[in-house]
Amino acid sequence: MSTPATSARWIQGHTPVAPRIGIVLGSGFGPVAEALAEPVSIPYSDIPGFAVGSVLGHAGRLIVGDWCGQPVAILAGRAHYYEGFDWAQVTFPVRVLAELGVRELLLTNAAGGIASGMKPGDFMALEDHINFMGSNPLRGPLAEGRERFIDMTAAYDPGLRARLMQAGQTTGVSLTEGVYLAVSGPSFETPAEIRAFRTLGAHAVGMSTVPEAIVARQCDLRVAGLSCITNVAAGLAGPTQLVSHHEVMDVAREVAPRATRLVAEWVRTAGLQP
């Protein structure tokens, strides 16, 4: 059975790059990975211990290389809880990134906009999250060498978030800050659920990111989160406006150039801010 350490050693045998920055690409963020210089691209199916998802928009590859002068490891796509994977499988790649030496992790996702004024194509830097997935990825046996009870007061690092906001100003990509609420999926939310989530203080809703953020904090990684608002959440655009994954992907493809500029600037400024 593979462990994060053994999987990391396997990866190190296939690339000389020692990444310090990790990026997880959610639905529609795939084109971001094309920006790396001379990348080594490895299918998840080749990496010991990696689960292979099947959702449209998730390439299922680890891509390692140089970007804007920084050694970067990109997880192009993720396995989801709603596909039937358990929490250990969903979060295993984050533990492997930590073993590879990654210290900063950017988690990206496609999300439904809940906050008033949010529209498809907007971006949101995560300042906090609400775990509505029904479980916690730290449940069960304690990972060797890790603490069980993890403080989540600043789950999303203020310095990394400030760097995201500055990257938005530099590139002309507008983004707000807000709270991301995660559900297990795969069905989209009902209008009543969206009204409840808005009351709870959520600005956007999705089906990922939160378990990765929790595990990343257990691994002492600094975490930033970035949502692309790909649709208005159920019931907010009128009773006849339906939500679909194809809509999500269409919007994500349209904003891919802006997403790439934004993430590239965030990577370029690594180490320049606390």
Q: Which residues are tagged catalytic?
A: 27, 58, 80, 82-83, 110, 207-208, 231, 245
Closest CA to 25 of 112, 111, 108, 122: 108
142 and 106 Cβ atoms separated by less than 8 Å: no
Place of tokens 């069905």: 187
